[in-house]
Amino acid sequence: MSYRVFISHSAKDTELAKDLARRLEEAGVEALAFINKEETNEAACEMKLLIQMYVQSADEVIVLLTDNSADSPWVRYEMGAADGLDKRLTPVVVNEGVEQRVPMVGKHFVKYADLPKYISSLKRKAA
C-alpha cells in the first residue's frame, strides 16, 4: 500500500521542501509538492484547482511552517484544502515559535528536530 504526502510550503523554502521530499521517498513514502508556485504565471483559479487535485490525491498534507510560510496565502489555502478534503494535516514547525503566528495550528504539530521520528512513523504506514 503506498502512502502519499503533499508538502505545503512557501516558494522561499523550496530547498527545504525538496529535502523533505527526498527523506520521505527514502522512507518509501511518495512525496508531492508544488515547486515555485508563487513565481508561476498560472492563473489563480487554475492553481486552486491543481491544489485541490493534488491534496485530494494525497493521504496526508505536511505543512512546513517557517517565517516565510507563516503569512503565505497559498500555504493557508492548502491547509484549508486539507481540512476540507478530510486529509490528515501535519504542521512541521521549522522556526521555533512560528506556530503561534498561524492560528489554525493547534496543539498538534511536529517539531523539526523530531522529523526523523515522524518520518519513521509514516514509513510504517507506507509499508
Residue closer to another protein (CB basis): 27 or 110: 110
User: Which cell numbers in the block locate residue 49?
Assistant: 484547482
Q: How far apart are CB 107 and another protein at their closest, in Å? A: 7
Rounded Cα gap, residues 119 and 127, in angstroms? 12
Q: How far apart are CB 21 and another protein at their closest, in Å? A: 22
Q: Which residues bind another protein (CB under 8 A)?
A: 43-45, 48, 51-52, 55, 73-74, 76-81, 83-85, 102-108
Residue closer to another protein (CB basis): 25 or 42: 42
Residue closer to another protein (CB basis): 24 or 99: 99
Q: How far apart are CB 22 and another protein at their closest, in Å? A: 27
Q: How far apart are CB 37 and another protein at their closest, in Å? A: 12
Amino acid at residue number 89: L
Nearest to 64 by CA among 17, 5, 105: 17
Length of the chain: 127
Rounded Cα gap, residues 118 and 110, in angstroms? 8
Amino acid at residue number 65: L
Residue closer to another protein (CB basis): 13 or 78: 78
Element (H, E) at 4: strand 4-8
